[in-house]
Structure 1
Amino acid sequence: MSAVHPVSDGIPTPVPRRSDKSSDYRWFPSWRSLTASLLCLCFACVHMMNANMGMAIVCMVQPNGTDDSTANDSLSLLDEVESNRAARMDWSAEEQGYIFSAFNLGLLLMLVTGFLADKLNAKWLILASVAIATLSNIIIAALSEESVYWTILGRFLVGLADALLQPSVNSLITRWYPSSERSYALGLATGGRQIGSLIISPISGALCSQTVLFGGWPSIFYLSAFLGIFFMILYLILGADKPSKQSCISDGELKFITNANSNEDVGKKRTEREVPWVKIVSSSSVWASVAAIVCHEFPLMTMIMFLPSYLHDVHHYKATENGILSSLPALSLWVAKIGSSYANTWLQNHTNWSGTSICKVLNGVGSFGLGIFLYAATLLDSTQAPWAVLLLCLSMASAGLHTPGCQTSLVAVAPAYSGAITGFAFFFVAVSGIFNPLITTWIVRNQTATEWNLVFYISAVIAIAPCVFFSVWGSSDIEPWAQSPKLSNASNKSTQEKDRPEQIA
């Protein structure tokens, strides 16, 4: 196993010439790129086990009514497959709201798991996250027919899994990547969420329509659970908490990572030290990032949970085509996230723009586009359904710019405490997420276009808000209290010597 190369006391040594292998190390192939790929697969698996409910519930619940023009055909088809089809539940709108809210109730625990992510081994926390999500999907598939409370429990466990995952990954990223690569690494890793949606949405539509595998909708959850098990085996073999624990990493790459992060105090995360909560909660940069994350996630939760229902109710798409179309906004989000994250890294390396300026510009464009395109979708009716899907794709593409924006800021202001800050931020995301489905299901009682438009108006206003406050208070600079003690002491000593009057011989 490779060992961490020590860094000299005081101020870190000057950055060597780029010809020196310790000053730079290729991105591909490297263990950094492999780690980002594994984290991407992890997010894909966990998100599939979350997003599958949005599509599956269309097939799990008894429909309120049937179009007269197709009633006879539908009844005839149901008669043919009824003996093989999994049971449909007679859940009320309120019960469906509780099912979706249970996920965010589990996310509330991120305030605790975020703290643990900086103290415990991130690899085992990630594996625990996927294991819990896998168990939850098995519970939903096997026991939902017995009681709605089993489904609510399963959704709570999925939320708990996500509460473990996000801060653990953010904490791991600060250990594995220099600051110039974190935006891109974060984009690649969290892009797994969109890959998960791209995979599960069309597959869910197809599985809903068949009865051969587990009678239809249960097969969606069993498939998701199987993929979770596959990831756990893979990550158990290849994953590592930090570079020094990866036995196959080269000395050159290990030295590059260690030297690049020497001023961030991230190397000894599990030593006995207190999280500076007073500093965190009094930081305007932290609060700007937290509020921007909440405003970013609220519209995304609406899309993840209710896009299939919206396309079904307003634009009258059937299950198979609904699943395919529901994946297109996710594809747009993924492409924009990867492209804008790379743009962030490129701008840092090839322009004089500060990291903070880049974050603010990208985040502002993303917030404005997300809100405007969501509003524009409300102006179209069912005769213009393809255009509505296009506008939703553009809104999600705009949301992709938040990754190099407020999400990068979240891990940049205090890398050594990134897990705690992530947990702090997503605690508020979870609170808003509890109310999101409750508000949506309360508004959308009759599945009309007017009701769905009101849901979109609310999301659009919330989405645009960060254009103001993040542009003023947002930052991606390391806070003074989050820097390495050695660097801070050396800097203070240098300042004192500079201020001391010269002695005349």
Structure 2
Amino acid sequence: MATDVKRHPFIHPRSRRLHLVIMLMAAFFCLGQMTSHIGLSLSCMCNSTAVALLSNASIDKSEDLQLDLNASTSDESCTRLQGRTVKDYGGSFVWSVKTQGNIVTATFVGGFLFAYPAGFAVDRLSARHLLSLAIFVLSLMSLSMPLLVEQFGATSAIVVRFIMGISDALLLPSLNSMITKWIPLHEKSTAAALFTSGNQFAGIIGTPIVAELCASPLGWPAIFYSGAVFGFVWLAVWHFAIRNSPHKSRWIHERELDYLENHLPKRALGLPKKRTPWKSMLTSSAFWALMYSSILGNMMIALVFVYIPVYFKDVLMLDVQANGFYSSIPNASNLFAKIAWGMWMDRMKRNGTIHPTTACKLSQFIAMMGIAISCFVLRYLDCSTPIAALILLSGVSASFGLSISGFYTSLLSIAPSHIGALTGVSTVIGFTGRIFTPQLISYFKTIGTAEEWGNVLLVYAVMSSICAVVFVLFGSGEVQPWDESKRLSAVQQTKLSLISEDKNKLQEETAETNS
């Protein structure tokens, strides 16, 4: 039996934990399809020329600003038009850059305010049902968005996105809770790389879909309707296919169940919940290294999944369909990098070649330095070098993919008994990065020139460099001493030691009596 347990594969057609991870991947895809394309969606909804004309304070001669629907991005036209031509995707709303930033930020504010209550709920209620609730609300809001915006304008868009943020906050700790109940420590990097790749599929597949819908006679409302359809289909499959834990699952093989019972932390198998050790958690250097990494990670999520299409529109002056194609490439690089790297890290951990903490630190360091270098070089490019800009943005996205084996694997590993609370706190603190990003971009951006975006990229380069150093010094990939499963193991070892001592005493007393 021990041999069977050791050899049970994760990547196998009959692996129920693989089925779970695929469904979580699909949940991330639905989330991304309904929330992450807001940057490109707003570009389709708004009249960019009229919006730029509102920014007269930062434009020397507003009358020189020209509408550009068909200009090419050749070197000659780019040089001639740079700084005074705005690429327009034919939208009708005239919402200022600040208003658009507020619409993007509303989701992050909703997530920020409800992140800890969501984590608290996940530790006490069914993660499966909470995940269903999150996707249902997201789908309903996506379905309602076009009608509400047409009737009530930008204010209704802010409200809808705020409610979506609440659902987003509920979704992440629910996902993490399911992972801790199903996936052993030595498989978490691979599992995290796989299920978070739903974000990349939303970029690789979803961004071109959004671009085509924007350019089609259906227009921008179809973007939101299509996201709702994906969500409702996912809900139907999730309801019938997945259960909260392995021993409640349908169709799981007995050998896989034995494997999981021998490799999962005891808390994940359903032992009584314990009080969260707040003092130990908040005084842990590994916790705070994780929190700073979470802030930077959320800033990267906002940049890669929301603002890359906006960058392509502003700086490279791409039309909407070319934008959809270009935007899918960084997502593809992210997907390939994080899955390949995550599987390699897990293989080395299984073989004992690398320690879990070393794997997390190495992954996070390479990820952050790759982002810092790419962003620093990217700020010197403009629409005369579109291929070089695309390569560097793909480098940014690929580097960020490696951080799944870094800070995100650390999040899933350091406190499995308190994953809901830890994820809640991490999401609250991390969401400050998502809230900060639209405000950062709105602060520097008026028209969207390469120089304005260069200032944004410099901030990213500096913060990423700091993150690399902080995580190498203080990060961890192991269960911390303050986690309940660690304390439980210590208690069990003490009990075993006492039993052994009692047994030895009994043997000694029996020997003395016989003599």
TM-score by length of structure 1 reads 0.88
SS at match of 2:385: helix
Q: Which has the higher helix share?
A: 2
> Residues of 2 paired with 1:297 and 1:199: CA distance?
22
Q: 1:273: Cα distance to partner?
A: 3.0
Q: Which residue of 1 aligns with 2:49?
A: 64
The alignment status of 1:99 with 2:103, answered yes or no, reads yes
The alignment status of 1:50 with 2:8, answered yes or no, reads no
Of 19, 25, 28, 2:8 maps to: 25
- Superposed CA offset, 1:446-476 (max 9, x none): 2211111101111111122221111011111
Amino acid paired to 1:113: A
The alignment status of 1:332 with 2:337, answered yes or no, reads no
The alignment status of 1:115 with 2:120, answered yes or no, reads yes
Q: Which residue of 1 aligns with 2:249?
A: 246
> Residues of 2 paired with 1:266 and 1:272: CA distance?
10
Q: 1:397: Cα distance to partner?
A: 0.4
Is the 1:330–1:393 contact (alpha carbons within 8 Å) kept by the matching residues of 2?
A: yes
> Residues of 1 paired with 2:425 and 2:477: CA distance?
17
Q: Which residue of 2 aligns with 1:90?
A: 94
Q: Which moved more, 1:371-380 or 1:476-485?
A: 476-485
SS at match of 2:267: coil
> Residues of 2 paired with 1:267 and 1:497: CA distance?
25
Q: Which residue of 1 aligns with 2:359?
A: 358
> Residues of 1 paired with 2:92 and 2:501: CA distance?
77
> Residues of 1 paired with 2:431 and 2:386: CA distance?
31
Structure 2 portions without partners, runs of 5+: 51-63, 72-88
1:2-401 equivalent positions in 2, closer than 5 A: 17=2, 19=3, 21-27=4-10, 28-29=12-13, 30-64=15-49, 68=66, 88-108=92-112, 109-145=114-150, 146-211=152-217, 213=218, 216-261=219-264, 263-268=265-270, 271=272, 273-401=274-402
Q: 1:481: Cα distance to partner?
A: 2.5
> Residues of 1 paired with 2:66 and 2:437: CA distance?
33
Is the 2:48–2:91 contact (alpha carbons within 8 Å) kept by the matching residues of 1?
A: no
Is the 1:264–1:482 contact (alpha carbons within 8 Å) kept by the matching residues of 2?
A: no
CA RMSD across the alignment: 2.4
Q: Which residue of 1 aligns with 2:85?
A: none
Q: 1:69: Cα distance to partner?
A: 8.4
- Superposed CA offset, 1:49-97 (max 9, x none): 0112111111101122697585799xxxxxxxxxxx9972111111111
> Residues of 2 paired with 1:442 and 1:495: CA distance?
62
> Residues of 2 paired with 1:458 and 1:496: CA distance?
57
Is the 1:366–1:398 contact (alpha carbons within 8 Å) kept by the matching residues of 2?
A: yes
- Aligned pair in 2 of structure 1 residues 71, 459: CA closer, same or farther (>3 Å)? closer
Is the 1:184–1:345 contact (alpha carbons within 8 Å) kept by the matching residues of 2?
A: yes
Amino acid paired to 1:46: L
Structure 1 portions without partners, runs of 5+: 1-15, 74-84
- Aligned pair in 2 of structure 1 residues 246, 450: CA closer, same or farther (>3 Å)? same
Is the 2:46–2:90 contact (alpha carbons within 8 Å) kept by the matching residues of 1?
A: no
> Residues of 2 paired with 1:363 and 1:72: CA distance?
42
Q: Which residue of 1 aligns with 2:79?
A: none
TM-score by length of structure 2 reads 0.87
> Residues of 2 paired with 1:70 and 1:346: CA distance?
51
> Residues of 1 paired with 2:384 and 2:194: CA distance?
37
Is the 1:296–1:367 contact (alpha carbons within 8 Å) kept by the matching residues of 2?
A: no
- Aligned pair in 2 of structure 1 residues 317, 499: CA closer, same or farther (>3 Å)? farther
> Residues of 2 paired with 1:70 and 1:486: CA distance?
65
Q: 1:374: Cα distance to partner?
A: 1.4
> Residues of 2 paired with 1:205 and 1:378: CA distance?
26
- Deviating above 4 A after TM superposition, structure 1's stretches of 4 or more consecutive aligned residues are 65-73, 493-500, 502-505
> Residues of 2 paired with 1:186 and 1:86: CA distance?
39
Q: Which moved more, 1:273-282 or 1:218-227?
A: 273-282
Q: Which residue of 1 aligns with 2:489?
A: 487
Query: How many residues are aligned here?
Result: 472
Is the 2:359–2:477 contact (alpha carbons within 8 Å) kept by the matching residues of 1?
A: no
Is the 1:171–1:417 contact (alpha carbons within 8 Å) kept by the matching residues of 2?
A: no
Q: Which residue of 2 aligns with 1:8?
A: none
Q: 1:402: Cα distance to partner?
A: 0.5
Amino acid paired to 1:26: P
Q: Which residue of 2 aligns with 1:6?
A: none
> Residues of 1 paired with 2:167 and 2:174: CA distance?
11
> Residues of 2 paired with 1:436 and 1:69: CA distance?
27
Amino acid paired to 1:50: T
Q: Which residue of 2 aligns with 1:76?
A: none
Amino acid paired to 1:169: L
> Residues of 2 paired with 1:151 and 1:39: CA distance?
27
Q: Which moved more, 1:490-499 or 1:165-174?
A: 490-499
Q: 1:182: Cα distance to partner?
A: 1.4
Q: 1:281: Cα distance to partner?
A: 1.3
Q: Which residue of 2 aligns with 1:465?
A: 466
